[in-house]
Each structure stands twice: as C-alpha cells, then as structure tokens.
C-alpha cells in the first residue's frame, strides 16, 4: 500500500502556512510546540499504518454480523479500540481536568484524517462516542456527567445520535418518537429510529443514545422536540450497569460501503419500559443536537479527505510503476521502450487534479479547525466572534465540498489504474464505496446548501460572509502585485470570482427577502459548489505565496540566477521541488477550478427555472404542478 497521507504537505500546512505552533501564545496551549506536535503526528501515522490499515480490507470483507438479535463487528477492532484509548487519542483535545491532553483542534482534526485513511469504519466508533460525551459535558447535569462521561471517554460505553425515523429523515420535525413524563422525573421513551451508526455492537459494555423525541403534549415541528439520554442498559447510581432498558436492534443495513460500521434500526420501548433522562431543557432538542451535528459535519468533511488522499497516493505510485505505451516524443518508434504511465499527459492531468483537490481539502479542514481553536481560546470578543462566524459559515461548505470532491478523487484514482482499479486487488474501489456515504449522512449535501444560503450567508446581517470574502479580496490584491506571473494571474482570477460570488450571494439574499424561495433553493447547491471552489483556490494561493517566499530564499542561497540552473536545482532538492509544486498546484486550481465556479455562478444568475416549471419529467409520471 502507498502512503495514507502526504506527510510533507501536512507539515507544510500546519507549521509553515497556518503556523499552529503559535497557538502556544494562549494559556491553554502553552505546553505545546512544533516538536511536540510532530511527535503526535508521527505516532498517529505509525498507528494508522501498522494497526488500522491492516484491518481495513478485513473489515470490508467480514462486515457486520447480525445474528439472534446481536450485532458483531470484526474481532480485530478490539485491539484498535485498546490502542486508541491507551494512546490517549480519545481525549486528545479534551481539557486536562477531563483526563485530556488539550491539543488544538487543528492538530486533532489532521491526525483524525490519517486514522480515517487507515480504517474509516472503525474511526466512526470513537468519533460518535466522543460527540455523545461532549453533549453531556455541555448540557448534562453533574449527576449525568458523573455517570456517563468517563465510561464513554474510555470507550467502555459507546455513544450515538438518534434522529432519523422511517418517515422522518431530513424532515426531523415530523418524528413520532414520544417521551412520557414519569413521577420520578424520568421519561418513558417509545419509537423507532433508523440509520443509527454504531447503534448496537459487541465492542462496548453499554451504548448511550442521544435520542430526539417529543414530550407528550408538546407542539409539532422542530420547536417541540427534546433530547434524552437513553442507555441500552440502565446505569445504577453507583455507576454499575443495571437492567436492560428495552433498546432493541431490529436489524442492520446492508450498505454499499463502510461494511464494518454497524448501521442499525433501533426500537425503543416496544417490549417494555424504556427509560430516558432529559438532556438540557425541554423543547431545546434541536439546538442541543446541533452542537453534535456541527462537529459531526466537520468529521464527515474529514472523511472525504481520509478516503480520497490514500486513493490518490496509491494511483500516483501505480502511475510511476506501471508501464504502458511510449513517451509522446517516441510515439512513432515501434521499438521505443514502454513508458511509465505518469509520462502520459492525460494521466498527469488526472494526478494534478487529485493533488489539487486533496491539498485543498486539507487546507479547508485545517483553516476551519484553526478558527475553531481561536474561537475557543481568544480573549478578545471581536476576535472570538469573527472566528466563530467563519466556522459556522464554512461547516456546510467543508462537509459538502470535501465529500463530493472526495468521491470524485477516488473515481479519478480508479481511472488512473484503468481496469485494474475496478478490482478488489487494489484498495481504491473500497475507498470509493466507503467515501460515498459522506455526501448522504449528517444532512445530505443538498441540505448543506440550503443551510448555507438560508442561514449562514445571512448570519449577523451577512457580516461573516462579507468578512471572509474581504479577506480573499485582500489576498488577491496582494497576489496581483506579485512579480511571479503565475501568482499574479492567480490573484486576478481569484479577485474576479470573489466579486462574482459576492454579487450572486446578494442576489440570492434579495430573493429570500422577497419571499421568492424556490429559485434560490434551486441554485443553492451550485452556489455552494462555486463557493467551495473559490475558497479552495484561495487557500491554495495562500500556500503558494508561502511556498514562493521559501523557494526564493533557497534559490538565492544557492546562487541560482537562470532557468537552466533553476531546473537543475529543483531536480536536486526535494524541498525546492515541493515548494515549486505548491505554486503550480495553485495555478492549476485558478485555471481549472475557478472557470467551473464561474459557470456555476452564471447558471445561478441566469434566472433559469426549467426544473421548477416542467410539467412532466417522464411519460408515466403523475403531473407535477409547477412551483
């Protein structure tokens, strides 16, 4: 297997571009420096390569077994759980007083990418459990924290979020699960939930479900929803596990990918009393759940990179070794030696596309996480608010863009291998199957687009969106004055598209204000995609500017003054070649991503509404009333 991630690019982003080591100016991170962070990255990489990845194919083949009402996951996952907990990875970013290590989210998110690259299915288990513990930490009573948090954080207990029902998927407000008040302050829970990731399994002694339900008598819709702690087994006041709580797994889904992640249908209270405890206040379920949901959406964006980057790196290694055809300079020579396919222009185009997208995904995730850290520790309220606003704005873009493009990268990686890529002999087809779920769960990417245009763009009167676009404008203006012709062009293209995004966003906002909802929602996903492409190019241009400064210094120190000696120097220095590649990657994005963004924005601006006005999509279809 090729690498699971490009470690050189990881280090470049963290320490040369984002400069995460400078977070130690805040008291929370004063114990950390660049050397410590590198040690954490080394340990994560070693664990992912040596332990996680060897179980990935086995988990895919073995899958999840549901027999006699019990759910079993691959036996090898027990060791992964033990190593994950013993290594302190479960509480990497948690407070010292919780037994955590207080590592920045920026480091935690990037290390999470290599674990996901090693085994996507398994990493969902600790991720969901930690999300549940975090909800209890934020909204739970002292008693609830005492009973549930420690066993979840050492993975003695698992954790889930339970939203979806058979007739209430994206339409959460239509749920039918009920909560009936009991005299002792608890609630009797009754209902069905489906698509519950790690909803039941044999890897934990107990599973704590965060369940959305409506208390009897509360209003319909999302405003009437509360959230409850519902363990599979009741927990006694001394912390010991008590009697079965009538949470029954009625089956597991047979899925396209993530075969070793049990996706369960759960029944609450069908065969007896199921007791839940209110988490937070009544009728605040959606507000509370969104804390976990926002974290989960960032993690899903991370999964887009986790599956696509190793697929790209595998394709790159294959292209360097696979020999087919001749070099284009020798195509008329029947006796010419076979060339490595990386010499063929079309293969190089695919590799460059995958390189640009995966590096942009990592930059997008890292930049979002850095703002999450800033919002967490900044003492200046304006700085804290600005960082929070950027995180809120970027969450739907990160989730949607990284998962959509992550799938496309795996597809292109498969194409690079030709027919061999379609075979299970190579890991790409599994990465493709595993990553596809990312655009579907934690809110489909269409819902992310609706969240972006309907909520995030207009937050605080649009100030957060305007502030981010202003930063892009300032960087573009600086690039336009750069002596490097590639960076200058990047700045010009980026500035033009940044302006176009701003104008289209204003138009969408005006349509919402005029209550013309159908047209902006029709254009929401193309707009999100365009914004993702602009932000991706902007972040790559930021990297390119840093790389140019580093490369210029190296060339000056080496006394390089002409093009021939420059080429020779790049061939002899891996660092110089790396920096040069960062500039060219950003230029590629400006010339390939931004025209796509411009076309999407032109479609949004056109007023085209054929999908809304068409009377029939097919002859057999019932008549559709135009919107």
Catalytic residue annotation: 442
Six-digit token string for 209: 């479900």
The answer to whether the CB of 123 falls within 8 A of the CB of 56 is no
Neighbours of 33 (CB within 10 A): 12
User: Considering only CA atoms, which of 313, 413, 399 is closest in space to residue 359?
Assistant: 313
Six-digit token string for 609: 């509404």
Distance CA 311, CA 413 (A): 6
The answer to whether the CB of 80 falls within 8 A of the CB of 55 is yes
User: Considering only CA atoms, which of 162, 160, 88, 92 is closest in space to residue 131?
Assistant: 160
Give the SS3 label for residue 209: strand
**357-381: b (≥16 Cβ within 10 Å) or e:** bbbbbbbbbbbbbbbbbbbbbbeee
Q: How many residues does the chain have?
A: 627
Neighbours of 486 (CB within 10 A): 18
DSSP symbol at 223? G
How many alpha carbons fall within 13 Å on the CB side of residue 312? 26
The distance from CA 448 to its chain's CA centroid, rounded to whole angstroms, is 12
The answer to whether the CB of 292 falls within 8 A of the CB of 163 is no
Cα R_g (the chain), whole angstroms: 25
Segments in 119-218 forming alpha helices (H): 120-139, 142-153
Six-digit token string for 112: 């999470």
Report the sign of the C-alpha dihedral through residues 430, 436, 441, 442, in that order: positive
The distance from CA 183 to its chain's CA centroid, rounded to whole angstroms, is 43
- Give 115's contacts (C-beta < 8 A, 6+ positions apart): 44, 47, 48, 52, 89, 123, 306
- Give 401's contacts (C-beta < 8 A, 6+ positions apart): 301, 361, 364, 528, 529, 532, 533, 535, 536
H or E element at residue 603: helix 574-605
Distance CA 391, CA 600 (A): 24
Distance CA 29, CA 100 (A): 13
Distance CA 433, CA 257 (A): 5
Distance CA 55, CA 487 (A): 43
The single residue listed with the structure tokens 């120097």 is 569
The distance from CA 196 to its chain's CA centroid, rounded to whole angstroms, is 18
């Amino acid at each position: 297997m090729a690498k699971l991630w490009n470690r050189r690019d990881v280090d470049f982003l963290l320490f040369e571009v984002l400069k995460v080591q400078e977070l130690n100016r805040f008291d929370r991170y004063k114990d950390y420096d660049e050397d410590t962070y590198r040690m954490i990255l080394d340990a994560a990489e070693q664990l992912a390569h040596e332990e996680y990845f060897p179980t990935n194919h086995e988990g895919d083949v073995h899958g999840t077994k549901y027999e006699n009402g019990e759910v079993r996951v691959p036996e090898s996952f027990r060791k992964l759980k033990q190593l994950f907990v013993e290594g302190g990875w479960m509480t990497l970013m948690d407070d010292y007083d919780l037994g955590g290590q207080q590592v920045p989210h920026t480091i935690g998110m990037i290390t999470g990418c290599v674990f996901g690259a090693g085994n996507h299915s398994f990493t969902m288990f600790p991720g969901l459990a930690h999300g549940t513990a975090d909800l209890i930490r934020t909204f739970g009573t002292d008693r609830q924290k005492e009973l549930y948090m420690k066993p979840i954080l050492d993975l003695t207990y698992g954790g889930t979020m339970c939203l979806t029902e058979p007739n209430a998927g994206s339409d959460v407000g239509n749920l039918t699960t009920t909560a009936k008040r009991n005299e002792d302050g608890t609630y009797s829970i009754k209902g069905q939930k489906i698509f519950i990731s790690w909803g039941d399994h044999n890897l934990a002694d107990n599973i704590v479900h965060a369940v959305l339900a409506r208390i009897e008598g509360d209003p319909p819709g999302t405003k009437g929803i509360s959230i409850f702690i519902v363990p599979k087994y009741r927990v006694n006041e001394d912390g010991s596990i008590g009697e079965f709580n009538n949470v029954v797994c009625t089956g597991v889904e047979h899925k396209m990918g993530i075969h070793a992640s049990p996706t369960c249908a759960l029944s609450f209270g069908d065969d007896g009393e199921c007791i839940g405890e209110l988490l937070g206040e009544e009728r605040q379920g959606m507000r509370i759940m969104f804390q976990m949901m926002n974290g989960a959406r960032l993690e899903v964006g991370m999964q887009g990179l986790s599956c696509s980057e190793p697929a790209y790196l595998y394709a790159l290694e294959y292209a360097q070794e696979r020999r087919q055809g001749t070099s284009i300079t020798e195509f008329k020579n029947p006796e010419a030696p076979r060339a490595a396919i990386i010499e063929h222009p079309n293969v190089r185009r695919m590799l460059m596309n995958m390189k640009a997208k995966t590096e942009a995904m990592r930059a997008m995730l890292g930049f979002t996480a850095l703002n999450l850290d800033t919002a967490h520790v900044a003492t200046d309220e304006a700085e804290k608010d600005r960082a929070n606003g950027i995180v809120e704005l970027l969450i739907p873009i990160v989730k949607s863009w990284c998962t959509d493009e992550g799938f496309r990268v795996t597809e292109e990686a498969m194409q690079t291998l030709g027919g061999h890529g379609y075979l299970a002999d190579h890991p790409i087809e599994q990465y493709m199957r595993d990553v596809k779920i990312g655009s579907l769960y934690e809110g489909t990417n269409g819902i992310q687009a609706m969240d972006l245009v309907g909520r995030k763009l207009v937050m605080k009167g649009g100030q957060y969106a305007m502030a981010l676009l202003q930063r892009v404008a300032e960087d573009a203006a600086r690039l336009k004055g750069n002596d490097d012709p590639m960076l200058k062009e990047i700045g010009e293209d980026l500035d033009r598209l940044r302006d176009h995004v701003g104008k289209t966003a204003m138009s969408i906002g005006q349509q919402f204000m005029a209550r013309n909802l159908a047209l902006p929602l029709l254009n929401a996903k193309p707009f999100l995609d365009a914004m993702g492409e602009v932000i991706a190019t902007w972040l790559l241009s930021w990297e390119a500017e840093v790389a140019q400064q580093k490369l210029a210094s190296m060339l000056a120190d080496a006394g390089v003054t002409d093009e021939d000696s420059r080429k020779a120097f790049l061939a002899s220095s891996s660092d110089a070649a790396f920096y040069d590649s960062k500039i060219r990657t950003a230029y590629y994005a400006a010339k390939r991503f931004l025209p796509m963004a411009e076309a999407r924005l032109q479609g949004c601006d056109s007023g085209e509404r054929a999908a809304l006005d068409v009377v029939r999509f097919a002859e057999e279809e019932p008549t559709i009333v135009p919107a």
